């Protein structure tokens, strides 16, 4: 089996490779694809050392040529970042000029990233279809919901993946002192817009007990008032803080260094560590990079797709009637059965109006954002921003659209 990682020069790649090695995934070749050959020259040898250290027989190849990298692949993992940390810094700070939260996956920053990312991913997907027509595309590239919908709309074999659900599963298991495999979640919503409505231990919902016994710890993790979480009776993803505490988050952002700047500094330090020929395991610093449990989520998903296991995993999939207030074409994030046919969403209990309203509004934004990414035009960008609840005003939408297009012009073919 061959697994290709597009964006293989990422400093996160050793975490991903460690997951394949540690979980004993039966892969013969891990192909790392990245235009940054200097990074590949550092990452690929470390990846090979990690595999060897854990006794895994897979070989690692590295190339800047996507066609060569995906040729004959069984699964292709996409984790690219167009524009690097500099573009991310703009995503996180440019919205501040209009009094809006800056974040790389949602709001104005998320739209900017979608504009840069969707055309590149679709081009890569065409190459994959030509060189490895039976391969599954697993998308990590944010904004995952929009990118996954673009892939599915174009007819590609694709599933979107996020680490929010697996992160909650592991946290709850730790708090309860049980094996994480005994925990299942009623996880519903869109990528980076989800709620845990039940936490089942051996099929019994223990969420009320978790909120009672661990509410303070949960509130600290989510940075939301514990009283609000208990009143909601659910566990919102930490991305909901951008909606539920917008003004507070904005004030914090204006007084701090962007996450992009922090990650850029961390990446420089990680790359220095990776150059050590004696290093054969992921360094502790990598845990601060983010993406906890992504490697395990990825291995589980790829295994289920390629081995036709029928396991249930949280994934980004077509709605197809699962949430009746959305179109069938929408992409949602829910528990899904994963097998050789792809991801099929499991039935979902009716969604409460407080959550359904926000899901519907952000889904409308995502549809408009995808249209802007596919067809271009500052007016389309402004329309998408007008639909987003974190912007939603005509003057702000128009101003931000002009700023986003100007700041990203070298990544936008239609400018």
Q: Which residues contact 61 (CB under 8 A, 6 or more apart)?
A: 29, 30, 31, 32, 44, 69
Q: Indicate the pTM of the whole model.
A: 0.97
The pLDDT-based confidence of 341 (bands split at 50, 70, 90) is: very high
Decide if 189 contacts 165 (C-beta within 8 A). Answer: no
The pLDDT-based confidence of 292 (bands split at 50, 70, 90) is: confident
The pLDDT-based confidence of 312 (bands split at 50, 70, 90) is: very high
C-alpha 409/C-alpha 404 separation (Å) is: 8
Is the sign of the CA dihedral 153, 157, 163, 164 positive or negative? positive
Q: Which spans in 310-407 are helix H?
A: 353-375, 378-387, 394-407
The pLDDT-based confidence of 15 (bands split at 50, 70, 90) is: very high
- Over residues 53-72, the mean pLDDT reads 98
Q: What percent of the chain has pLDDT over 70?
A: 100
Decide if 119 contacts 371 (C-beta within 8 A). Answer: no
4 has which bridge partners? 31, 76
pLDDT reported for residue 294: 87
Check pLDDT > 90 for residue 374. Answer: yes
The pLDDT-based confidence of 290 (bands split at 50, 70, 90) is: confident
Condensed to tens digits (0 to 9), the pLDDT of residues 228-273 reads 999 999 999 999 999 999 999 999 999 999 999 999 999 999 999 9
Q: Which residues contact 82 (CB under 8 A, 6 or more apart)?
A: 113, 116, 117, 120, 411
Active-site annotation, residues: 239
C-alpha 118/C-alpha 107 separation (Å) is: 16
The pLDDT-based confidence of 299 (bands split at 50, 70, 90) is: very high
């Amino acid at each position: 089996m061959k697994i290709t990682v597009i964006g293989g020069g990422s400093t996160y790649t050793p975490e991903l490779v460690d997951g394949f090695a540690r979980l004993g995934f039966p892969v013969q070749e891990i192909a790392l694809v990245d235009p940054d050959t200097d990074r590949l020259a550092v990452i690929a040898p470390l990846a090979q050392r990690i595999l060897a250290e854990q006794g895994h027989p897979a070989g690692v190849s590295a190339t800047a040529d996507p066609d060569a990298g995906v040729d004959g692949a069984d699964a292709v993992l996409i984790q690219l970042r167009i524009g690097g940390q500099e573009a991310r810094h703009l995503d996180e700070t440019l919205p501040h000029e209009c009094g809006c939260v800056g974040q790389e996956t949602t709001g104005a920053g998320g739209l900017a990233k979608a504009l840069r990312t969707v055309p590149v991913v679709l081009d890569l997907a065409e190459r994959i279809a030509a060189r490895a027509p039976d391969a599954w595309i697993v998308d990590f590239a944010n904004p995952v919901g929009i990118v996954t919908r673009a892939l599915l709309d174009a007819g590609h074999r694709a599933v979107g993946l996020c680490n929010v659900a697996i992160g909650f599963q592991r946290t709850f298991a730790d708090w309860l002192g049980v094996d994480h495999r005994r925990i299942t979640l009623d996880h519903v919503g869109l990528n980076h817009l989800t709620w845990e409505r039940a936490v089942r231990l051996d099929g019994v919902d223990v969420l009320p007990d978790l909120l009672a016994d661990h509410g303070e710890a949960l509130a600290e993790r989510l940075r939301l008032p514990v009283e609000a979480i208990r009143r909601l009776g659910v566990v919102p993803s930490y991305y909901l803080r951008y909606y539920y505490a917008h003004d507070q988050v904005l004030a914090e952002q204006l007084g701090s260094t962007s996450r992009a700047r922090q990650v850029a500094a961390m990446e420089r330090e990680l790359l220095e560590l990776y150059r050590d020929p004696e290093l054969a395991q992921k360094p502790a610093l990598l845990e601060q990079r983010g993406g906890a449990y992504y490697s395990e989520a990825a291995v589980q998903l790829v295994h289920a797709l390629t081995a036709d296991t029928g396991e249930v995993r949280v994934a980004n999939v077509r709605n197809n009637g699962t949430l009746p207030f959305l179109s069938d074409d929408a992409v949602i994030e829910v528990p899904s059965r994963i097998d050789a046919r792809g991801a099929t969403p499991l039935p979902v209990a009716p969604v409460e109006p407080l959550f359904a309203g926000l899901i519907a509004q952000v889904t409308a934004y995502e549809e408009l954002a995808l249209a802007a990414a596919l067809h271009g035009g500052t007016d389309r960008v402004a329309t998408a921003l007008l639909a987003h609840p974190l912007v939603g005003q005509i003057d702000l939408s128009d101003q931000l659209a002009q700023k986003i297009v100007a700041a990203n012009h070298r990544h936008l073919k239609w400018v």
